[in-house]
Chain A
Amino acid sequence: MTVALEIKNVSHNFGKFTALDDVSLNINSGDFTVLLGLNGAGKTTLYSLITRLYNNNSGTIKIYGFDVRENPVNALKNIGVVFQQPTLDLDLSVKENLQYHSSLHGISSEEANKRIDNEIGRIKLDEKIKSKVRSLSGGQRRRVEIARSLLHKPKLLLLDEPTVGLDIGSRQMILDHVKSLCKKNNLAVLWATHLIDEIDKGEKVIVIHKGSVIESGDVSKIVKKTKTKNIRDAFNKLVGI
């Protein structure tokens, strides 16, 4: 099994505040992995380091073997990202937003249009392709962002709290969509959330708390180890709430 993301001994500080403390984790291709932590646990900082928005001053981050710091071009090529904050340009149409993203990855217009039609079809928003993003609902915008993150055919998909603020229907639709992408395309997915009900049995979970990884493994292993009934209780016990 290929290692999609390998993080070793990464720490990060903002002044005196330690946002991440000696974090190490591995994600394999085809794995759907949940990064579970409360708000402020360090999930977004970790994503910022993986995507090289911040520089990692300690430890190493490798994406399919490419070090993010030493070989950012090859490392970033393999990543698709959905950030916690909405990042679509509201005044542009869905298609214009997706074309812009394609150009940032050097994809030709012809190829980009093919891929856009394909991805938009997959999220069933064909009729909205010419609409301004401003006119889309929160759930639709998120689906467009997921479609956008896949345009350059990444092998690792990072999603930072992608369902926050969405209704139950939209949340489930997005979750199902990403999980099916993971299975069908052998995509490695790192899904950051604080919503425990997004975790299914058998999935791999990494629990992050106050900047440290305090537990990792599949759901049953964590439940067994913490001597609890379910992942919710296990998480509550681990973070002390």
Chain B
Amino acid sequence: MELIIFARCFKGIVLREALRFIHQKERFFSALVRPLVWLGIFAAGFRSVLGVAIIPPYETYIPYEVYIAPGLIAMIQLFNGMQSSLSMVYDREMGSMKTMLVSPIPRWFLLISKLLAGVFVSILQVYAFLLIASIWDIIPPISGYFTILPALIVSGLMLGSLGMFLSSAIKQLENFAGVMNFVIFPMFFASSALYPLWKIEETSEWLYYVCFYNPFTYAVESIRFSLYSQVNIEYTIGILVFTLIFLFLSILGYDPARGNLQKKGGK
């Protein structure tokens, strides 16, 4: 199969996702409001309670708002990843997922294209968030706006493929709400998004290990370091490994020979 065919297919999938995003203005609005509420209300309340010591990549004492900004960026991607997989469950129940899956183009390529299309949308949301966050004096170095991009692509892929894997394993839309509760909230709270890991270790050792091995922590920290144009090898390797694992599982989940699709029957 020629390369141009793959390129046209990729363009079509990204364009469709972008069009859906433009048509659903409320989705963009709610994706922005959520982290802004955290930033404007939660962070304002907690800044006096929580003291954040100087930890890399920061070189000075920082307000709490600055600390949680990377976590909120990852939160945007987490919600976006889950939302696009939610739309995959919806698409599958409604049938429109089938039109994609019966394309002659290899399924792994279709799924990765769909994931990247979702990542593209989440990146638009992140930059809109960063623009508004500058009101709270969350202003990284100019280079940070560029160096954050690779981290956003990888973390978006990781969270999107986790969502895609979940969508392949979930039979009905109703079940997805439960997964949101069991995945989104534990992932977000048991991570370094809201508090640094050393602070968690002071409180509870087992919780520290939960947070440390939580893939979301790797997304948050990769974003945090990249926002300040730095690379943390440990987190970078971690996020790449998690991304590959979730990608593999999601492609397997939609594989007609081994996947979850045909176990469900009818859908």
A residues with a Cβ closer than 8 A to B are 14-15, 17, 19, 44-45, 48, 51-55, 69, 72-77, 79, 81, 83-89, 91-92, 96, 99-109, 148
Q: B103 contacts the other chain (Cβ, under 8 Å)?
A: yes
**Given A14-B265, A55-B257, A96-B19, A91 and B94 contact (CB-CB distance below 8 Å):** no
The 7 listed contacts between A and B (C-beta, < 8 Å) are A48-B262, A53-B98, A72-B104, A91-B24, A101-B99, A103-B13, A105-B104
Q: Provide the residues of chain B in CB contact with A44, threshold 8 Å.
A: 266
- With a cutoff of 8 Å between Cβ atoms, the chain B residues found around residue A77 in the complex are 104
Tell me whether B102 and A81 are in contact (CB under 8 A): yes
CB contact between A83 and one of B4, B8, B15, B95 (< 8 Å): that residue: B95
Provide the residues of chain A in CB contact with B96, threshold 8 Å. 87-89
Decide yes or no whether B9 CB sits under 8 A from chain A. yes
Using known A-B contacts A92-B20, A107-B8, determine if residue A55 contacts B103 with beta carbons closer than 8 Å: no
CB distance from B121 to the nearest CB of A (A): 14
B41 within 8 A of A: no
CB atoms of A103 and B9 under 8 A apart: yes
| Nearest B residue to A108, CB-CB | B8
| B265 engages A104 (CB within 8 Å) | no
Query: B100 and A104: CB pair below 8 A?
Result: yes
By a CB distance below 8 angstroms, the chain A residues around B266 are 44-45
Instruction: From known contacts A44-B266, A81-B102, A99-B12, infer whether A53 and B94 are also in contact, taking CB-CB under 8 Å.
Output: no
CB within 8 Å of A: which residues of B? Answer: 1-2, 4-6, 8-9, 11-13, 15-16, 19-20, 23-24, 94-96, 98-106, 110, 256-258, 261-266
Are A105 and B103 in contact (CB-based, < 8 A)? yes
A14-B265, A75-B104, A81-B102 are known contacts; what are 19 more A-B pairs with Cβ within 8 Å? A14-B263, A15-B263, A48-B262, A53-B98, A69-B257, A83-B99, A85-B98, A91-B20, A91-B23, A91-B24, A92-B16, A100-B13, A103-B8, A105-B104, A105-B105, A106-B1, A106-B5, A106-B105, A148-B99
Q: How far is the CA of A101 from the CA of B96 in the complex (A)?
A: 11
Q: Which residues of B contact A54 (CB under 8 A)?
A: 256, 261-262
CB atoms of B102 and A52 under 8 A apart? yes
Q: How far is the CA of A230 from the CA of B4 in the complex (A)?
A: 53
Cα separation A134 to B105 with both chains bound (whole Å): 28
Chain B: which residue is nearest A148 at the CB level? B99
Number of inter-chain CB pairs below 8 Å? 112
Per the bound structure, the CA–CA distance linking A108 and B110 in Å amounts to 17
Residues of A within 8 A of B1 (CB): 73, 106
B11, B98, B101, B258 pick with most chain A CB within 10 angstroms: B98
Given A55-B257, A104-B103, CB of A87 within 8 Å of CB of B20: no
| Complex: A225 Cα to B16 Cα, angstroms | 52
Shortest beta-carbon distance from B11 to chain A in Å: 6
Known contacts A44-B266, A106-B5; decide if A79 and B12 are in contact (CB<8 Å): no
Query: How many Å from the CB of B14 to the closest CB on chain A?
Result: 9
Is A104 a contact partner of B9 (Cβ separation < 8 A)?
yes
Whether the Cβ atoms of A19 and B102 lie closer than 8 Å is: no
B9 x A106 contact (CB < 8 A): yes
Is the pair B9, A87 in contact by a Cβ cutoff of 8 Å?
Answer: no
Cα A19 to Cα B9 in complex, Å, equals 34
**CA distance in complex: A210, B143 (Å):** 65
Identify B265's interface contact among A45, A83, A91, CB under 8 A: A45
Contact of A74 among B104, B257, B264 (CB under 8 A): B104
Closest B residue, CB atoms, query A88: B96
Contact across chains for B256 and A55 when beta carbons are under 8 A apart = yes
List of A residues within 8 angstroms of B98 by Cβ: 51, 53, 81, 83, 85, 87
A131–B82 CA distance with the chains assembled, in angstroms: 30
A220 to chain B, nearest CB (A): 34
Q: Give the residue among A81, A85, A102 with the most B Cβ atoms within 10 A.
A: A85
Contact between B12 and A104 (Cβ–Cβ < 8 Å)?
Answer: yes
| CA–CA, A44 and B234, complex, Å | 49
Interface contact B12-A102, CB-CB below 8 Å: yes
Question: Which 6 pairs, one residue from A and one from B, show the smallest C-beta to C-beta distance?
Answer: A103-B12, A106-B5, A85-B95, A14-B265, A54-B262, A76-B104
CB distance from B119 to the nearest CB of A (A): 18
Residue of B nearest to A48 (CB): B262
User: B99–A104 contact, CB under 8 A?
Assistant: yes
The complex places the Cα of A53 from the Cα of B260 at a distance, in Å, of 11
